[in-house]
Structure formats: structure tokens, C-alpha cells
Structure 1
Amino acid sequence: MPGISRRKLFGLGAAGVAAAGAGTLAVRSLPDEAATATPSGSASDPVPFYGEHQAGIVTPAQDRLHFVAFDVTTKDRAELVDLLQEWTAAAARMTQGHDAGTFGAVGGVPEAPPDDTGEALGLPASGLTLTIGFGPSLFDGRFGLADRKPAALAELPKFPGEALLPEISGGDLCVQACAHDPQVAVHAIRNLARIGFGKVSVRYSQLGFGRTSSTSRAQATPRNLMGFKDGTANLKLEDTGMLRDHLWVAEEDGASWMTGGSYLVTRKIRMHIETWDRTSLTEQEAIFGRSKGEGAALGMAKEFDEPDFARKGPDGQPLIAAVAHVKLAHPSSHGGARLLRRGYNFVDGSDGLGRLDAGLFFIAYQRDPHRQFVPVQLALARQDVLNEYIKHVSSGLFAIPPGVRDAGDYWGRTLFS
């Protein structure tokens, strides 16, 4: 199709392509109204793509994750903006259960590569959300963004005991794909990587299963691979006031382009589960400060009962030790600071020594990581007895821009315009 760039082709709706004289449209092409469809109660239904905030943050946490960090390889700012526009158009389509490109997996010219890789043909939207973020390294001067770097995006400090691997940490860009079907999540990341060929390269990616946090009061608190419920004090989408105070960036925070956005911290935490599995139940519960069955704080009856850190046991000592995980992570220990967590379990095979390479891919959103995540993690790194059984091996920090308002908007417009 001479005269129409690939970027513009991706952005055209069905009517626009027809007017341009295009051939057969893809079976799964995106109707104009689909991008604003409202989800029903089914896990197969689409989540709206457009809005004040990006989907995939307060969206009720889906069952599967494919997270990817990219390095930007182009040095051309205009090429990067073009890519973000292409990605936005593809994301708007895929989150509604459609192909990544206008002609789809089978509707284009047979002699040319398809506009979609095809492994999601016939599958529903499955609650897919795609959430983009910008890492500190994107603001290094290559694209004229150095003076737009938010103070909250300053690199995280080195925490005691961490053993970070540079090759699976950091990144210029990240995309978080969450869905109820792993193939749908993988398809979305695969197609964004395909579209970005020559402009970005994959730095690392992580598959996750079995969400470890609930982001809505309609969801039960899940369990991590240690068998415990964690993050009971997590922010929920129903907590409108607390979301305003602890999650969403405001104009007065100093980077106007981030208004309505948030900040993401990721940590890949490997669990020494073979050692954990040989630890007594009593010790496991003392380490977490929770009962393993109900998930209640020790001394309490129900999961959501507020912990009583002053309560004493028969020996006169606090039922919940000062170094218990629940005590060190609790908002009351950090001036009320809260996080919105939506992490996932992972099992990445074995380490060659008969041990599973398994653990938690920690994901937390917040208004300012240096006032929220950092003090919590410093306390945990210094005192948490759980550290005997875990090791932090990767880390990421990303500025999550506000949502895409409509079809004329794109990921990162507020930063680049």
C-alpha cells in the first residue's frame, strides 16, 4: 500500500483503511467502539483501554503475568515516539480481543509477514491489560528528557543482603501484561516486541502465575509459594481516598507530565523453598506473624483483623515478634505508608543442583517509591527473619505515565509533547 506508513496503518480504524482502498480486513479487526467497551463479570471479557489512569494497576488482579523490560536501541527521538504510537494502537486492539495489526494474522498480503503472530486467534480478550513504564535510564540525555526526570525516579538505594543481577534489572521501558490466559499475555508482549524490532530490544522478561495479591475487596487474598497470605493491608481499588493519597501522582508532586500516573517497583525474589519446607509450622508462623491457615495476625481470629502488636503470649513476650514480617511491613511502622501490590509466583525451572528456581515476582505501585517502598524495604532487609529463606535477585523502577484518554492519544504523550 504505497503512501501509507506502517505507523499510520496500525492507527487506522476499519473505516479509515477502507477509505484508503485496503483489501480484506482481518477477521478480528477492532471496531471503533470496542476500545471503550465496559467489562462484564466474565474473566474472558475485555477491560477498557482508555481512561484517566492506565489499566493494570487497580484493575482486579488477573491470574497470569508476562512482564518485559526493553532497552531502547534507536537514538532517534522521533522514532521512539512513532514506536510508542504504534504500540498504543496495537495495545488498544489487543486488550479488546483483537489482532495487533489492521490485517491480523491471516488477512494481509501472503508474501509479506502477517500483522499479528496468530497464537491468540480464537481466544477472547481474557481481561488483558497492558501497562507501560519509563525507567530512569531513559532520561540519560539520548532523547532530550534529562530535565523531565522526576525526583521520585531517582535510583533505588542498595539494600542489605540483595544480590541483584544487572542483566535482569533496570530497563529503559517496561510493559506489564496481565491476563487470565497465559497465551493472551504472551501474545501481547510478543507482538509489541515484534513491532519494536530495530528500535528496542528485550532486556529481560518474566512469566508469572497465581497472583499473590488482591487489588479489589471482591477478591480473596491468594497465597505465595510459601503457603502464606501476605499483603493483607494492600491498597484496594475501592479505597478512593487512600488511592489519591498513596497511589496516584498529583500536580504538586513536581513532574506535571506524571499527573494521574504512578511509580512501579519490581523485585524478583527467589525463595529457598527446600529449606522453608523443612521448617516447622510454628516457626513459619512466627516468621510471618500470621497463622498459615486463616491468614490472621497471631493472636487474632480473622485475616483482616487489625494486628495487636502489644498483645503478649503466655511467656510475657509479644505474640508478634518485632522482627516478624507482618510487623516490619505494616503501615503503622512507616507513618501509614501503603503500597498497591500485584505480584505473581514464578517457577523458572531448576538451578541445576536439584533446587527449584522459584519465588515471587514482586510488583508494587505507589505515589513516591522513596517515601513508600524504600523505608519498608530497608526495614525488611535489615531485620526480617524471613531473609534467611529469600534472596532479591533483580530490581526495577519505572515511572508509569497517566492513561491514554482516547484514540488520538498515545502512551507517553505527556512526556514527549
Structure 2
Amino acid sequence: MSTHDDNAPKEAKRRGFLKAGGVAGLAAALGAASGGTQAAAKPSHAPDARDPMAAAEPFFGEHQGGIVTPQQSHAYVATFDLKTEKRDELVQLLRDWTAAAAKLTRGAALEDYGQTGDDAVPADSGEALGIGPAGLTITFGFGPGIFTHEGKDRYGLAARRPAALVDLPRFNGDQLLPEKSGGDLFVQACANDTQVAFHAVRQLAKMGYGILQMRWGQAGFMSSARGQTPRNLMGFKDGTNNPSTQDRSLMNQFVWARDEGSAWMNGGTYTVVRRIRITLEHWDRMERGFQEQVVGRHKLSGAPIGKQHEHDPVDLTATDKDGNPQIPENSHVRLSNAASNNGAQILRRAYSYNDSTNFYIERWPPWRQETEYDAGLLFIAHQRDPRTGFIPINEKLSKLDMMNQFTTHVGSGIFACPPGAREGSFIGAGLFEV
């Protein structure tokens, strides 16, 4: 007998249920489950050997930070609605944000506290003083509303909207909340300290007072032993088979925008954000064998069902002793696999979230009405083109994935994240050049 005890088949009645098909919506989100047909390279979230609080990531560069950067332990994501109708005010805001982000990612405050008088309003709220840069990255993106808003071309940018920045369709099972969806401007702050990440977004929001207002914000976290793939709240390793961020050819193929018709986006990426609540109370009552077949991986090792090691290639042709697919037909791994989606891949950079509790009416048996955890996955996916990445993958998952009985998509957004800024310029400058 193998020392790997996850392989024994569990409950024929569960296997029959798996073959029946699901009906609600899930993105290629719980990347723990996502599997490719090849062994994955070193995960992109491998820890830095340096002191994580002293680590500093450059802000200026060819690409924005926080996309292929080794994943930090905390994130704060926010979107904003623009209130100004003046293009010049929007450009100035982006200039100010660029200068501030360059300081914050170095661990610097936005003012010299020793030179500030008691009668002045501080430019920096001060709660991150002395903590260090903590590997902070700040990523900016533009939502569809920056190009047209209620049918109006507010800033003369409508003709420059990239074809790849499409409005996401409504997926089967979506229960999207307006207060958790959309936004004209997207800000993602990731750091090795939760206060540093929140502090960054807080300063940027303050700088936009009168020009914009926050639409929604969400804190996220991930934890793992050093050098290991982190686990999501379902207990499975998350992100095992991401395309390697160390492979430039893969990043150019699947992540960085190049020839999709908008030159100002070359070197940028298209980011899909989904807030996915997980009914943990329901999931926690499921047998481990059933959980593994829903996901398509062994819970302890992270290996594909039937394999021994996390990065073993997924074999979609393998069958069990009864001739049934070893990886169930409606498992998350099979349905999200590149081989099942015409080779499509996306770069997942997800975080768990826990927002205490709330009152819910469940949409799956036993249809309970009770206070439950408001917890789940802040799914973030970067890709070269959502029309060939997230959208077709999620269309399939939303209809067939058996994980849907435990998850509900309650928030959504899509954003064009431009290439990195050059020193002396500002983020998204190419969009505003005539």
C-alpha cells in the first residue's frame, strides 16, 4: 500500500452525484483545483529569503508590480467611481497617485512628519510609520466606466477603449451585488503586512477626495509554510498549476497584452476580480473523499487524484478499476484544465477573505436561513484577453462544476491594467496621449 492514503475511492453514491452535473456559477477561481497537463514550475508565490518587512518592490518598470510579483501575504483591493467630469483632473489624479505609489512602495511616508506643524492636516495618516515597505506593490486599472458612463464619453476616451475590455456576461448562478461590483478605477495593494496594504489604499483614496468616491473595498490574506503552495478556506492548495511567472514566453502568451488593437495597453494585462462566498458550513460537513472528487485533487498532498505529488501532471484519460474517469467529469480540475479549454490559461492571484458573519438564505439543500460566515475567495485573474481566457473557462464552470453547490459569486469587475509607468511619467499615460 502506498504511504499516500488519499487515493482510496470514496462512496459510490457521491461518484454518481458528481456525474450528474452542476447548475450554478463558479469561476476558474479556486485555483487550488486548477490543473494543467504539464508539471508546474516553481510557484509564483515562493517566499523571498529576505526579511519580508524590509523587502521593497520597484514601482516603475516595464510592467506593473503585483501581477507576476511573488505573491505577498495580504491584499487590499478597492474600486472607485469618478465624480469629476474634467479630463485634466483625472490626469492630475493619476500623476499624483503615481508619485505617491512610488514613495509608498519604498516604505516612505507621504510627508516628513518632523516638518509638519500641529495646525496642518497630515498628508499621510501615519499608521504605517516604521513598519517598512513590506514588499508593497500597487497595481492600477481602468474599468469600462472610464471610457463611457451612462452613454456619455466624459473624458474623450471612448474610441480608445480596448476591444478586450468587454463587459462580462451574466454567468449561470451569479448573484452579484452592485455594492461589491464594478468601478471606474481599480487599485490593488499587496504587501507582507495587512496594515501596509490598507494604508496604501487609504492614502490614495484621500488624495482623490472630491474627484472620486470609493465603490467597494475588500481585504484578503493567504498563508502557507515557507516554500509551499498556500491553501484556501476549503483546505486545498490554491494555484498549483498557474503558468510559471518565470517563463517569459508563457507570460507573453497568456498574460501580457500585445496585439489586441490598443497600443497603449501593450505590456499591460486584463484583470478579472470576483468575490466568491463559500458556504463553509456546508463544505465542512462533506467527507474528505467527496471533497477531493469535487476538486479533483488530494487534499493533503495537492496531487491530482491518482497521483502522489502536487506538481504531477494531470491525467484526464486515467480510469479507475470500474472504468470510470479517475478525475471525475464534473470536477473543478477537469473543467478548468487547459486541455478542456482549447489550451486557454489565466494567471490566478487569489486571496482568501473573512468578513465575519451575515444572515443568508442558501440556494442549495437544505436551503437553510441562518447566520453564516461571510468568507470565501477574492479571485483575481490576469490574462492577455478575457474573451479567450476567463470568459469561456467560466462559462463551462458555471454550468457544470460540482464546486458550485458550495460557492456563490457575489461581486465582479473587469479592468484594463496598463503597462508599468516610466519615471517622470504616470500610470496609464499612453491612454491620454493624442
Q: Considering the TM-score relative to the shorter chain, is it more than 0.5?
A: yes
Work out whether 1:117 is the aligned partner of 2:134.
Answer: no
Map of 2:99 onto structure 1: 89
Map of 2:33 onto structure 1: none
Gaps spanning 5+ residues in structure 1: where? 1-38
The structure-2 alpha-carbon separation of the partners of 1:40 and 1:97, relative to structure 1 and needing over 3 Å to count, comes to farther
Tell me: higher relative CO, structure 1 or 2? Use CA pairs within 8 A at least 6 residues apart. Answer: 2
Query: Secondary structure of the equivalent of 2:273?
Result: strand
Map of 1:399 onto structure 2: 416
Q: Deviations over 1:327-381 (max 9, x none)?
A: 0011111121111111100010101433110000000000001100011111110
Distance 1:323 1:104 in 2: 57
The one of 169, 173, 188 aligned to 1:157: 169
Map of 1:410 onto structure 2: 426
Q: CA deviation at 1:308?
A: 1.0
Q: Deviations over 1:40-67 (max 9, x none)?
A: 7331211111100000000000000100
Map of 1:365 onto structure 2: 382
Are the equivalent residues in 2 in contact too, given 1:233–1:330 (CA < 8 A)? Answer: no
Q: CA deviation at 1:229?
A: 1.3
Distance 1:93 1:360 in 2: 30
Q: CA deviation at 1:278?
A: 0.3
Map of 2:86 onto structure 1: 76
Q: CA deviation at 1:168?
A: 1.0
Map of 1:308 onto structure 2: 315
Map of 2:182 onto structure 1: 170
Gaps spanning 5+ residues in structure 2: where? 1-47, 360-369
Map of 1:10 onto structure 2: none
Query: Secondary structure of the equivalent of 1:243?
Result: helix
Query: Secondary structure of the equivalent of 1:268?
Result: strand
Work out whether 1:285 is the aligned partner of 2:302.
Answer: no
Q: Deviations over 1:164-187 (max 9, x none)?
A: 011210100010000000000111
Are the equivalent residues in 2 in contact too, given 1:104–1:114 (CA < 8 A)? Answer: no
| Deviation beyond 3 Å, 4+ runs, structure 1 | none
Map of 2:141 onto structure 1: 133
Distance 1:224 1:107 in 2: 45
Percent of aligned pairs sharing the same letter: 47
CA RMSD of aligned residues (A): 1.5
The one of 374, 377, 383 aligned to 2:391: 374
Q: CA deviation at 1:105?
A: 4.3
Report the residue type matching 1:190 in the other structure.
R
Distance 2:172 2:202 in 1: 35
Q: How many residues align?
A: 371
How do residues 202-351 of structure 1 correspond to structure 2 at under 5 angstroms? 202-210=214-222, 219-250=227-258, 252-351=259-358
Are the equivalent residues in 2 in contact too, given 1:71–1:203 (CA < 8 A)? Answer: yes
Map of 2:11 onto structure 1: none
Query: Secondary structure of the equivalent of 1:66?
Result: strand
Work out whether 1:197 is the aligned partner of 2:204.
Answer: no
TM score, norm. by length of structure 2: 0.83
Q: CA deviation at 1:412?
A: 1.1
Of the structure 1 ranges 107-116 and 89-98, higher mean CA displacement relative to structure 2 is found in: 107-116
The one of 388, 396, 401 aligned to 1:384: 401
Distance 1:40 1:298 in 2: 32
TM score, norm. by length of structure 1: 0.87
The structure-2 alpha-carbon separation of the partners of 1:373 and 1:107, relative to structure 1 and needing over 3 Å to count, comes to same
